[in-house]
Amino acid sequence: MKLIYGTYNPSKITSMRKMLDGIDIEITGINSVDFKLRESDETGKDPLANAIQKATTYYEQLKKPVFSCDTGLFFEEVEEEDQPGVLVKRIHGEDLSYREMIDYYSNLAAKYGGRLTAYYKNGICLYIDSDHIYKYDGEDICSEKFYIIDKPHKRYREGFPLDTLSVDIETMKYYYDLEDEKSESLGVISGFKEFFIRSIDDYLNSKSL
């Protein structure tokens, strides 16, 4: 099945392709579309609400199967004013660049003693057609807990700026310095693969009835 991923971020497209390796899905981004798409307002209070908004907005224009994801970043034991939630990139009403995000979150970690216990909560919506809309935000598509620290790694990956501040709790190493599969799996979660298998199986079964 051909699906359009509702993002312009090439790193996110690459990561999703890795997560879905082995199942019969061909993914392209919305940058493959030859006209300018109207973007969603993303006014939801949680990642799933934003994912639904985005998928719906893109489907209404494309009339092709499309899916969208949204992510919220959550910290333990911080003041409410410092909890980013779905506003990971928009701080105090201002959209930060990727480099500005690194500065902001490293300073925030420093404010709380040098590190923050964090996790990502994700939501996904697959909009195949108006009768087949699949949405999910279960725990198996949440990240493991990790640390955001105040000292950036020298490595930087465009599209995932906070990876450069992310440290594995068990080993206390940057994810970039781990030698096993974790070194490339930050943000790559197997639950996404199960979501697509379930959703597409349901869609195909409904079409065969």
Average pLDDT estimate for 49-73:
96
Number of domains in the chain: 1
Asked if residue 206 belongs to a domain, the reply is no
Asked if residue 198 belongs to a domain, the reply is no
Percent share of the chain, pLDDT over 70: 95
Among the ranges 62-71, 90-99, 153-162, 181-190, which has the highest mean pLDDT value?
62-71
| C-beta of residue 44 within 8 angstroms of C-beta of residue 56 | no
Residue 183 has pLDDT above 60, yes or no: no
Asked if residue 109 belongs to a domain, the reply is yes
Torsions phi, psi of 200, nearest 5? -70, -35
**How does residue 51 score in pLDDT terms, banded at 50, 70 and 90?**
very high
pLDDT score at 81:
93
Closest CA to 75 of 137, 26, 23, 118: 118
Residue 208 has pLDDT above 90, yes or no: no
Separation between Cα atoms, residue 163 and residue 181, nearest integer Å = 15
**How does residue 158 score in pLDDT terms, banded at 50, 70 and 90?**
confident
Asked if residue 128 belongs to a domain, the reply is yes
Q: What is the pLDDT of residues 62-73, one digit of tens each?
A: 999 999 999 999
pLDDT score at 69:
96
Asked if residue 8 belongs to a domain, the reply is yes
Residue 150 has pLDDT above 90, yes or no: yes
Asked if residue 204 belongs to a domain, the reply is no
**How does residue 195 score in pLDDT terms, banded at 50, 70 and 90?**
very high
pLDDT score at 147:
98
How many CB atoms sit inside 10 A of residue 192's CB? 20
**How does residue 28 score in pLDDT terms, banded at 50, 70 and 90?**
very high
Question: Which DSSP helix (H) or strand (E) runs through 193?
Answer: helix 191-208
pLDDT score at 209:
72
Residue 102 has pLDDT above 60, yes or no: yes
Asked if residue 17 belongs to a domain, the reply is yes
The whole domain housing 45 covers 2-191
Residue 58 has pLDDT above 90, yes or no: yes
Separation between Cα atoms, residue 143 and residue 47, nearest integer Å = 13
Residue 145 has pLDDT above 80, yes or no: yes
Q: What is the pLDDT of residues 114-124, one digit of tens each?
A: 999 999 999 99
CATH of the domain at 68: 3.90.950.10
pTM of the predicted model as reported, rounded to 2 decimal places:
0.87
Asked if residue 79 belongs to a domain, the reply is yes
